[in-house]
Amino acid sequence: MKVIKEAYNWRYATKRFDANRKLSHEQVETLLNAARMAPSSYGLQPFEIMVVENDDLRKQLQEAAYGQQQLTEASHVMVFAANKTVDEALVDSFMQRVAKSRGQSMESLKDFRNMVLGSVSGKSEQGKFQWAARQAYIALGFLLATAAIESIDACPMEGFNNAEFDRILNLEQKGLKSVVMATVGFRSADDKYAGLPKVRKTQDQLFTFFK
Amino acid sequence: MKVIKEAYNWRYATKRFDANRKLSHEQVETLLNAARMAPSSYGLQPFEIMVVENDDLRKQLQEAAYGQQQLTEASHVMVFAANKTVDEALVDSFMQRVAKSRGQSMESLKDFRNMVLGSVSGKSEQGKFQWAARQAYIALGFLLATAAIESIDACPMEGFNNAEFDRILNLEQKGLKSVVMATVGFRSADDKYAGLPKVRKTQDQLFTFFK
């Protein structure tokens, strides 16, 4: 589909947002819905997303992100935070969602519960966190792809002090750790990065075909 | 955009593919282009994608994936493999792409090169690999979101013997390790999972708003 291809060429990691332009409520909904509907391993969704509009908080986050301008110029800052661990409580809250969505009893989900717990139990604590973080990145991918298709600008950002972000957003007490964020809004006409040619591996560099 | 929302509701982790239906060349291109255009930290793209159609290889991969039927029934198997490490050679090959795409000299990119190497040098070997893997997951997200919009079925899969996959696809000698795969094609009319209600966190469970 040509439209999608053009959208992915149009997008870029926006450095300067137009601080005067805000996403509509509907646009925010569209982005968040994309992240919410993204798949995750077993459907666990071992992460949460902090949606920051508050100016004072954004200034604090900016300081913890080496002063990067997107934090205060973008329309919204969306911080992806992964669960520090994947434990029985997390799996049980997932099972409750399964039971509710599919009209099943918890009893009937016992085998599924044990299977998920069994697969998780083989991982170290650090392994569980890394696994949770990867699931958040799938959702980030859905959000960024959707933004491009909707002509919404975005910049994925990993360059920030995670511990400071966790403190500012009270993530520790929720059992979460910040892993990545997307600043979203509309590019400024002044952003000289908008016009730079994209740098990507060629098909030969990225793909190997086994026919 | 309603179309996107419907597409994300339509998609699901396909368990049974119609083994008789193959993606067109154009559809494969569309999916791979989505993965290729996905953003990554600095633009490094520290991963590659193995696109497997060969029947014999697919049977071998299936054995290393606990016999899961998607491996042989899907149209294509796309294995994402992350770079085991992020070293000077990888950063230099990226810088060559930057120089070529943007008509710059390697000399003029010296500061950028040092900045990227400096940021990487703070990570452990395991940290570099995990970081590379996360970038691959953004590309996976782009591929899966695009598949849904294009009415192509897909199943992201982590449940396989990574070391066996690495051996079968000769990833070790390329400095790569398999991290996740997407099987893609068209759902079988027999797949009872297609009709199950989606299980997702509610907006309140997934998002916290700081207004």
Pick the residue from chain B with its C-alpha nearest to A27: B1
User: String of b and e for B22-46 (b: at least 16 CB within 10 Å)?
Assistant: ebeeebbebbbbbbbbbbbbbbbbb
Interface test with B, best of A201, A202, A204 (most B CBs within 10 A): A201
Q: Looking at residue A173, what DSSP letter applies?
A: G
pLDDT digits (tens, 9 = 90+) for B78-121: 999 999 999 999 999 999 999 999 999 999 999 999 999 999 99
Answer whether residue A91 is part of any domain: no
- A52 in contact with B at a CB cutoff of 8 Å? yes
The tally of domains found in chain A comes to 1
Cα distance between residue A71 and residue A143, in whole Å: 18
pLDDT digits (tens, 9 = 90+) for B58-83: 999 999 999 999 999 999 999 999 99
Residues of chain A numbered 63-122 and touching chain B (CB < 8 Å): 94, 97-98, 101-102, 119
CATH code, B6: 3.40.109.10
Backbone phi and psi for residue B202, each to the nearest 5 degrees, phi listed first: -70, 165
AA identity, residue B92? D
Enclosing domain of residue A189: 2-86+123-206
Cα distance between residue A68 and residue B183, in whole Å: 38
Answer whether residue B96 is part of any domain: no
Cα distance between residue B73 and residue B14, in whole Å: 11
In angstroms, the separation between the Cα of residue A167 and the nearest Cα of chain B is 14
Residue B37: list chain A partners with CB under 8 A. Answer: 5, 8-9, 198, 200
In angstroms, the separation between the Cα of residue B5 and the nearest Cα of chain A is 7
Answer whether residue B148 is part of any domain: yes
Q: Give this prediction's pTM.
A: 0.98
Q: B174: left (phi > 0), else alpha (psi -120 to 50), else beta? A: alpha
Answer whether residue B211 is part of any domain: no
- Asked whether the CA dihedral A202, B157, A211, B151 is positive or negative, the reply is negative
AA identity, residue B54? N
Answer whether residue B72 is part of any domain: yes
Answer whether residue B108 is part of any domain: no
Residue B197: list chain A partners with CB under 8 A. Answer: 101-102
pLDDT digits (tens, 9 = 90+) for B182-209: 999 999 999 999 999 999 999 999 999 9
Answer whether residue B191 is part of any domain: yes
Answer whether residue A76 is part of any domain: yes
Mean pLDDT of chain A: 97
pLDDT digits (tens, 9 = 90+) for B9-51: 999 999 999 999 999 999 999 999 999 999 999 999 999 999 9
pLDDT digits (tens, 9 = 90+) for A66-106: 999 999 999 999 999 999 999 999 999 999 999 999 999 99
Residues of chain B numbered 117-176 and touching chain A (CB < 8 Å): 119, 130, 133-134, 137-142, 144-146, 149-150, 156, 158-159, 169
> Between B36, B156, B200, which is nearest A200 by CB?
B36
